[in-house]
Amino acid sequence: MSEDKDNVRLDKWLWAARFFKTRSLAQDAVDRGRVRIGGEPVKPARTVKMNDKILIDNGSDRWEVIVAAISGSRGPAPVARTLYFETDESIARRENDKVARRLYPEPSLEIKGRPTKRDRRAMTRVGGVDDE
Protein backbone atom coordinates (compact mmCIF):
# COMPACT_ATOMS: atom_id res chain seq x y z
CA MET A 1 0.00 0.00 0.00
CA SER A 2 1.94 3.00 -1.20
CA GLU A 3 0.62 6.25 0.19
CA ASP A 4 1.66 9.75 -0.76
CA LYS A 5 3.24 11.74 2.02
CA ASP A 6 0.78 14.59 1.36
CA ASN A 7 -2.28 12.33 1.24
CA VAL A 8 -2.89 11.06 4.81
CA ARG A 9 -6.23 10.21 6.39
CA LEU A 10 -7.29 12.19 9.46
CA ASP A 11 -7.50 9.14 11.74
CA LYS A 12 -4.03 8.03 10.68
CA TRP A 13 -2.57 11.51 11.29
CA LEU A 14 -4.17 11.70 14.76
CA TRP A 15 -2.62 8.34 15.60
CA ALA A 16 0.79 9.36 14.20
CA ALA A 17 0.67 12.65 16.17
CA ARG A 18 -0.04 10.58 19.33
CA PHE A 19 -3.39 12.08 20.26
CA PHE A 20 -4.82 8.54 20.44
CA LYS A 21 -3.14 5.27 21.36
CA THR A 22 -4.62 3.32 18.48
CA ARG A 23 -5.90 4.21 15.06
CA SER A 24 -9.28 2.65 15.82
CA LEU A 25 -9.67 4.95 18.86
CA ALA A 26 -8.91 7.90 16.60
CA GLN A 27 -11.45 6.66 14.05
CA ASP A 28 -14.14 6.26 16.75
CA ALA A 29 -13.48 9.78 18.06
CA VAL A 30 -13.84 11.25 14.57
CA ASP A 31 -17.05 9.25 13.98
CA ARG A 32 -18.52 10.54 17.26
CA GLY A 33 -17.80 14.16 16.33
CA ARG A 34 -15.04 14.71 18.90
CA VAL A 35 -12.65 15.83 16.17
CA ARG A 36 -13.46 18.82 13.99
CA ILE A 37 -11.57 20.62 11.27
CA GLY A 38 -12.36 24.31 11.07
CA GLY A 39 -15.26 23.80 13.47
CA GLU A 40 -17.01 21.34 11.14
CA PRO A 41 -17.46 17.62 11.88
CA VAL A 42 -15.56 15.43 9.44
CA LYS A 43 -15.13 11.77 8.51
CA PRO A 44 -12.08 9.61 9.34
CA ALA A 45 -11.10 9.29 5.68
CA ARG A 46 -10.76 13.05 5.14
CA THR A 47 -7.25 13.99 4.09
CA VAL A 48 -5.25 16.28 6.35
CA LYS A 49 -3.74 19.39 4.79
CA MET A 50 -1.09 21.79 6.01
CA ASN A 51 -2.43 24.62 8.20
CA ASP A 52 -5.71 22.81 8.97
CA LYS A 53 -7.07 23.90 12.36
CA ILE A 54 -8.15 20.74 14.21
CA LEU A 55 -10.18 20.63 17.43
CA ILE A 56 -9.55 17.36 19.30
CA ASP A 57 -11.41 16.06 22.37
CA ASN A 58 -10.15 12.70 23.61
CA GLY A 59 -12.31 12.65 26.72
CA SER A 60 -9.82 13.91 29.27
CA ASP A 61 -8.20 16.78 27.34
CA ARG A 62 -9.13 19.15 24.52
CA TRP A 63 -6.62 20.51 22.04
CA GLU A 64 -6.79 23.10 19.32
CA VAL A 65 -3.89 22.48 16.95
CA ILE A 66 -2.68 23.64 13.56
CA VAL A 67 -1.16 21.03 11.26
CA ALA A 68 2.54 21.75 10.69
CA ALA A 69 3.58 18.53 8.95
CA ILE A 70 1.95 15.48 7.40
CA SER A 71 2.91 11.96 8.42
CA GLY A 72 1.10 8.65 8.31
CA SER A 73 3.65 6.68 10.30
CA ARG A 74 3.87 6.70 14.08
CA GLY A 75 7.29 7.62 15.39
CA PRO A 76 8.81 8.73 18.68
CA ALA A 77 7.00 11.36 20.76
CA PRO A 78 9.49 14.18 20.01
CA VAL A 79 8.93 13.63 16.28
CA ALA A 80 5.14 13.50 16.77
CA ARG A 81 5.20 16.90 18.48
CA THR A 82 6.67 18.43 15.32
CA LEU A 83 3.54 17.49 13.34
CA TYR A 84 1.45 20.27 14.91
CA PHE A 85 1.45 23.60 16.74
CA GLU A 86 -0.92 24.04 19.65
CA THR A 87 -2.65 27.42 19.84
CA ASP A 88 -2.00 29.71 22.81
CA GLU A 89 -5.68 29.62 23.84
CA SER A 90 -5.60 25.82 23.88
CA ILE A 91 -2.47 25.74 26.06
CA ALA A 92 -4.03 28.21 28.53
CA ARG A 93 -7.32 26.25 28.64
CA ARG A 94 -5.55 22.93 29.26
CA GLU A 95 -3.49 24.50 32.09
CA ASN A 96 -6.66 25.90 33.69
CA ASP A 97 -8.38 22.51 33.37
CA LYS A 98 -5.38 20.80 34.96
CA VAL A 99 -5.43 23.17 37.94
CA ALA A 100 -9.22 22.79 38.30
CA ARG A 101 -8.95 18.97 38.31
CA ARG A 102 -6.29 19.13 41.00
CA LEU A 103 -8.14 21.63 43.21
CA TYR A 104 -11.68 20.33 42.67
CA PRO A 105 -11.56 16.57 42.02
CA GLU A 106 -14.63 14.86 40.63
CA PRO A 107 -16.69 13.48 43.56
CA SER A 108 -17.47 10.27 41.70
CA LEU A 109 -13.77 9.35 41.64
CA GLU A 110 -13.93 8.54 45.37
CA ILE A 111 -16.67 5.93 44.89
CA LYS A 112 -15.26 2.44 44.55
CA GLY A 113 -17.92 0.11 43.19
CA ARG A 114 -21.39 -0.29 44.62
CA PRO A 115 -22.30 1.74 47.70
CA THR A 116 -22.68 -0.15 50.96
CA LYS A 117 -25.75 0.08 53.15
CA ARG A 118 -23.94 2.63 55.28
CA ASP A 119 -23.05 4.71 52.20
CA ARG A 120 -26.66 4.65 50.96
CA ARG A 121 -27.94 5.83 54.33
CA ALA A 122 -25.38 8.65 54.35
CA MET A 123 -26.42 9.72 50.83
CA THR A 124 -30.10 9.68 51.85
CA ARG A 125 -29.35 11.74 54.95
CA VAL A 126 -27.59 14.37 52.85
CA GLY A 127 -30.49 14.36 50.40
CA GLY A 128 -28.67 12.83 47.49
CA VAL A 129 -30.64 9.69 46.64
CA ASP A 130 -34.16 8.45 47.30
CA ASP A 131 -34.75 4.71 47.10
CA GLU A 132 -38.51 5.06 46.62
Question: What's the whole-model pTM score?
Answer: 0.74
DSSP 120: H
pLDDT of 30-71, one tens digit each? 999 999 998 899 999 999 999 999 999 887 789 999 999 999
Q: Is the distance from CB of 54 to CB of 62 less than 8 angstroms? A: no
pLDDT of 68-90, one tens digit each? 999 989 999 999 999 999 999 99
Give the mean pLDDT of the chain.
86
Cα 42 from chain centroid?
Answer: 15
Question: Which residues fall within 8 angstroms of residue 74, CB to CB, at 6 or more apart?
Answer: 15, 16, 18, 80
Helix, strand, coil shares of the chain, percent, nearest 5, are 40, 15, 45
Helix residue spans in the chain (DSSP H): 10-16, 23-31, 77-80, 88-103, 117-126
